[in-house]
Amino acid sequence: MEDRTYTAIGSSNIAFIKYWGRRDDKINLPNNSSISMTLDKNVGTKTSVLFSDKLERDKLFINGKEENLGEGANEKLRFIGEMLDHYKKAAGINTKVLIVSENNFPSDSGLASSASGGATLAFLLANALDLKMHPREISIMARRISGSACRSVYGGIVKWNAGSKHDGSDSFAEQVVDHKHWPDLMDMIAIVDPSKKKVSSSAGHTVTVRTSTLYKARLQVAEEGVKKVVEAVKDRDFHALAEAVMRDSNNMHATMIDSWPPIMYLNDASRNIIYAVHELNESEGRYVAAYTFDAGSNAHIITTSSNRGKVIKMLEETGVVRSIIESRMGAGPEMLEGEESLIDQESLAPRHNRNPEIGKND
Amino acid sequence: MEDRTYTAIGSSNIAFIKYWGRRDDKINLPNNSSISMTLDKNVGTKTSVLFSDKLERDKLFINGKEENLGEGANEKLRFIGEMLDHYKKAAGINTKVLIVSENNFPSDSGLASSASGGATLAFLLANALDLKMHPREISIMARRISGSACRSVYGGIVKWNAGSKHDGSDSFAEQVVDHKHWPDLMDMIAIVDPSKKKVSSSAGHTVTVRTSTLYKARLQVAEEGVKKVVEAVKDRDFHALAEAVMRDSNNMHATMIDSWPPIMYLNDASRNIIYAVHELNESEGRYVAAYTFDAGSNAHIITTSSNRGKVIKMLEETGVVRSIIESRMGAGPEMLEGEESLIDQESLAPRHNRNPEIGKND
């Protein structure tokens, strides 16, 4: 196999109907289907890969830091190790690999980088090894690294079918519409001061499933929510979309609070933004914005480009927003041909060309 | 009928399993049973009543302010008017009445005064008119003023049976144990800065019942919670009581957030206290305190007198507690014989002897 580097860029996604709770923690099989919007490349990950016999072992660098893939590695990194083995087996090679991955959004922004990084890596490896994999298969690979990563394998609006099989072969993502279907839909990410107390979302999934007395009722609600969002997206019906998005966020956070011990991600800043969005919509006499919160206190405000100014004004007036990251609907991961790789092929090491402003709190 | 005044004192209660959601808004019929601890008289209401033919009309003074009982009165005051008519009919009289009621806790403390005031008035009228009413009947009267008032008709631990009849005749409270059964159980009420946005609890009931997709699941959980609390109280099992109390508070607030639009009473101060209670219990290796929140951000910390010091230290260390009101389990409403009435019989008016520090923000 020729020593050359391959580079891809992919992006994060924001769930309209959330993934919360798994029937299998090992291979990330969810209890309910979910649906998301893939974000643009400004909330993304660039990843380069080099297969070379000159490498003594598999190496992974994330945001400039080498991560351990072997014994003692954390869950996500172990999944990456397993995925590497799987890809190599499919390609019929045993060559060592160097992976260098960098996010282009601040690591202290509270945005999930694992969806962006996981999807980009799964996509990149399939292409670098020329495996002719169906995107569904790539999404299954990405799912194993981080559940929601499976949705970032496509652009546009993406649905992740929960599936029912034990081996996860029917738990994959598929595109509902591409990014050109509703191009003015966007996500304004309002970064607020984080809460002191943090709960890992991975642990949270398990706690809610095991303890929340309301969780079973949520599963039914979420499946219905996915159907509503699919219809709203197809019809470009912002009103229906907005209500489904906000209610699902509230519903998920309700089951979190009902968990034992309780999981509380929404803080006063989040609450202020929730009320401000309701007030903005009321004063406009129609829905112009929808809030949604993942496992953190930052607000994602879903809106359309014509209401961008109103949303910025509303967020600024809350007095709790530190910064806003704007992202449009993205086209999904792509190979970067001819662009500079993150890998220096001569030294078999990362190029260290990363933006010093990015990830400086790593 | 002889012109003389009668005076009673009653107190508020703190629900261990909450009342949230009604099947009948007009006569306050709840969807689920609930259970509470009646507080001591320091979180109470003193009420005097005078029936006299010299009065030109029925008059009600609450915390020094005359309230309108007739046309245009708010819901609770209309219920009081209806209750007066009911009592007079039962006594076979048509005499006008003057009622003077005063709470002995700050009106800006966020503590529900309607439970204390409603129970005291229902109890006082029954005794003043010598109606020989069964406490159950008095609790039904109190329920009509303010649902949870029906539980304050008794001391100790009190259960309110939801009942199923349309006329509410089986929706009454009854005592589980009296205040001597577990005398060291207490409520430390931590007053925190209120949230800017307020939601009326009366409107909230209706919104949750109509919109929360999780509410139906809660009803089952609450009924089971009542059984758990009854057992825990009978066994004086603080561990079982604490867990049931905390989980029910979280469960109710979960259905509130799941309401549409969402209802959020817990703020960052509440969250800090919730985490501090979990940390205290963890560090002690057993439950020494339990939090519970009504329709507001103030925390009620249920504990036993031997752990009072630990709870005060824990609350102070959160840095979010403005003041603490301590209350033991109360004996329920009682008639005050020979004590000074709140009514000046000569002028047929309130005595204006109230503590100027109380209710000054009315």
Does the distance separating the beta carbons of B262 and A264 come in below 8 Å? no
Name the residue among B85, B91, B75 with its Cα closest to residue B27.
B75
pLDDT of the residue at A1: 57
Is A204 within 8 Å of A263 (Cβ atoms)?
A: yes
Cα–Cα dist A108/B100, whole Å: 58
Does the distance separating the beta carbons of B271 and A264 come in below 8 Å? yes
Cα–Cα dist B299/B314, whole Å: 13
DSSP assignment letter at A154? S
The partner residue sitting opposite A258, judged by closest CB among B197, B243, B254, is B254
pLDDT of the residue at A153: 98
| List of chain B residues whose C-beta atoms are within 8 Å of the C-beta of residue A212 | 254
| List of chain A residues whose C-beta atoms are within 8 Å of the C-beta of residue B261 | 278
Mean pLDDT to the nearest integer, A45-53: 96
Q: What is the mean pLDDT of chain B?
A: 92
- Residue A202 or A147, more confident: A147
Q: Is the pLDDT of residue B360 over 60?
A: no
pLDDT of the residue at B1: 57
Cβ-based interface (< 8 Å): residues of A facing B:
195, 197, 212-214, 216-218, 221, 243, 247, 250-251, 253-255, 257-262, 264, 266-268, 271, 274-275, 278
Least confident of A119-128, A262-271, B103-112: B103-112
**Which residue from B minimizes the CA distance to A215?**
B214
Cα–Cα dist A63/A107, whole Å: 9
pLDDT of the residue at B319: 96
Phi, psi of B329 (to 5 degrees): -70, 135
Q: Is the pLDDT of residue A47 over 50?
A: yes
pLDDT of the residue at A108: 62
pLDDT of the residue at A268: 95
pLDDT of the residue at A3: 78
pLDDT of the residue at B70: 77
- Residue B187 or A346, more confident: B187
Cα–Cα dist B19/B33, whole Å: 7
Does the distance separating the beta carbons of A250 and B253 come in below 8 Å? no
pLDDT of the residue at B130: 95
Taking only the tens place, the pLDDT of each residue in A58-70 is 999 999 999 988 7
ipTM entry: 0.92
Q: Can you tell me which residue has the tokens 């694992």?
A: A114
Q: Can you tell me which residue has the tokens 């561990």?
A: B239
Is B298 within 8 Å of B306 (Cβ atoms)?
A: no
A149, two tokens: 């990563």
Name the residue among B152, B143, B174 with its Cα closest to residue B38.
B152
DSSP assignment letter at A329? B
Mean pLDDT to the nearest integer, B184-204: 83
Q: Is the pLDDT of residue A362 over 60?
A: no
Mean pLDDT to the nearest integer, B75-104: 92
Could you write out the DSSP letters of every residue in B293-327? --SSSPEEEEEEGGGHHHHHHHHHHHS-EEEEEEE
| List of chain A residues whose C-beta atoms are within 8 Å of the C-beta of residue B243 | 260
Q: What is the mean pLDDT of chain A?
A: 92
Name the residue among A294, A322, A310, A303 with its Cα closest to residue A13.
A294
Cα–Cα dist B323/B99, whole Å: 31
- Residue B312 or A107, more confident: B312
Q: Measuring CA to CA, how many Å separate B182 from each of A44, B310, B323, B330?
A: 59, 20, 26, 11
pLDDT of the residue at B356: 47
Is B83 within 8 Å of B125 (Cβ atoms)?
A: yes
Taking only the tens place, the pLDDT of each residue in B7-16 is 999 999 999 9
Pick among A195, A218, A251, A253 to test the B interface (most B CBs inside 10 A): A251
- Helix %, strand %, coil % for chain B, to 5? 40, 25, 35
Does the distance separating the beta carbons of B216 and A218 come in below 8 Å? no
Q: Measuring CA to CA, how many Å separate B222 from each of B219, B244, B270?
A: 5, 10, 22
Does the distance separating the beta carbons of B271 and A197 come in below 8 Å? yes
| List of chain B residues whose C-beta atoms are within 8 Å of the C-beta of residue A221 | 213-214
State the sign of the Cα–Cα–Cα–Cα dihedral A72, A77, A80, A84. Answer: negative
CB-hemisphere CA count at 13 Å for A290? 27
pLDDT of the residue at A109: 67
Taking only the tens place, the pLDDT of each residue in A304-344 is 999 999 999 999 999 999 999 999 999 999 999 877 899 99
Q: How many CB atoms lie within 10 A of CB B235?
A: 12
Q: Is the pLDDT of residue B199 over 80?
A: no
Mean pLDDT to the nearest integer, B194-205: 74
Pick among B198, B213, B221 to test the A interface (most A CBs inside 10 A): B213
Cα–Cα dist A6/A48, whole Å: 5
**Which residue from B minimizes the CA distance to A277?**
B261
Does the distance separating the beta carbons of B268 and A267 come in below 8 Å? yes
| List of chain B residues whose C-beta atoms are within 8 Å of the C-beta of residue A195 | 268, 271
Pick among A245, A260, A268 to test the B interface (most B CBs inside 10 A): A268
Taking only the tens place, the pLDDT of each residue in A230-286 is 999 999 999 999 999 999 999 999 999 999 999 999 999 999 999 999 999 999 999
Q: Where are the domains of chain A?
A: 4-350
Q: Which residues contact A347 (CB under 8 A, 6 or more apart)?
A: none
Tallying the residues shown for chain A, one arrives at 362
Cβ-based interface (< 8 Å): residues of B facing A:
195, 197, 213-214, 216-218, 221, 243, 247, 250-251, 253-255, 257-258, 260-262, 264, 266-268, 271, 274-275, 278
Taking only the tens place, the pLDDT of each residue in A158-211 is 999 999 999 999 999 999 999 999 999 999 999 998 776 666 777 888 898 999
The partner residue sitting opposite A214, judged by closest CB among B214, B260, B262, is B214
Mean pLDDT to the nearest integer, B314-321: 97
pTM: 0.93
CA B339 and chain centroid, separation: 24
Q: How confident is the model at residue B74 (pLDDT cuts 50, 70, 90)?
A: confident
| List of chain B residues whose C-beta atoms are within 8 Å of the C-beta of residue A197 | 271, 275
Taking only the tens place, the pLDDT of each residue in B247-288 is 999 999 999 999 999 999 999 999 999 999 999 999 999 999
Cα–Cα dist A267/A297, whole Å: 6
pLDDT of the residue at A233: 98
Is A310 within 8 Å of A19 (Cβ atoms)?
A: no
**Which residue from A minimizes the CA distance to B243?**
A260
pLDDT of the residue at B357: 47
Q: Is the pLDDT of residue B63 over 50?
A: yes
CATH of domain B4-350: 3.30.230.10
Cα–Cα dist B119/B353, whole Å: 22
Q: How confident is the model at residue A357 (pLDDT cuts 50, 70, 90)?
A: very low
